Structure 1
Amino acid sequence: MSAPAVPLYGYQKNWFLDRSRFKLGLFARQTGKTFTTTLEVADTCFEAAVKAKRERWVILSRGERQAREAMNEGIKVHCKAYDLAFEENEFDWEGETGSHKALEVTLPHGSKITALPANPDTARGFSANVFLDEFAFHKDSQQIWRALFPVISKGWNIRVTSTPNGKGNKFYELATGPEDDVWSRHVVDIYRAVAEGLPRDIEELRSGLADEDSWAQEFELKWLDEASAWLSYDLISSCEDERAGDPDGYQGNPCFVGRDIGRREDLHVIWVWEQVGDVLWERERIEQKRATFREMDDAFDDVMTRYRVARACIDQTGMGEKVVEDAQGRYGSRVEGVLFTGPNKLIMATKGKERFEDRTVRISQGDQKLRADLHKLRKVNSATGAPRFVAERDEDHADRTWAAFLGINAAEGPQYEYGYQPAPARARPTDERPSDDEERFRMTSMRSRRGGY
Structure 2
Amino acid sequence: MSGQFTEAEWAEHRSKSFAALPAVVENGTLPDVFLEYQKELLSSTATYALTVTDKSRRIGATWAVAADAVLTSASDATASGMDTLYLGYNLDMAREFIDTCGMWAKAFDSVASEVGEFFFTEQGEDGAERNIQAFRIRFASGYEIVALSSKPRSLRGRQGYVILDEFAFHDDAEGLLKAAMALLIWGGKVLVISTHNGADNPFNQLIEEIRAGKRPGNVVRCTFDDALEQGLYQRICLKTGREWSPEAEAKWRSEIRAFYGDDAAEELDCIPAQGTGVYLTRAQIEACMTRETRVLRLSCPADFAMRPDEERASYVEGWLEQEVKPLLDALNRDLKHYFGQDFGRLVDLSVFVPLQELPDLTLKAPFIIEQRNVPFREQEQVLKYVVDRLPRFIAGKLDATGNGLYLAERAVQAYGSCVEAVMLSESWYLTHMPRMKTRFEDRTILLPADAETSDDLRKIKTIRGIPKVPRDERSATQNGGKRHGDAAVAIVLAVAAANSEPVEFAYFPVIPRSPIGGGSAYDPDDDDEEAAPRESLRGLAQGVF
Give the TM-score taking structure 2 as reference length. Answer: 0.41
TM, length-normalised to structure 1? 0.48
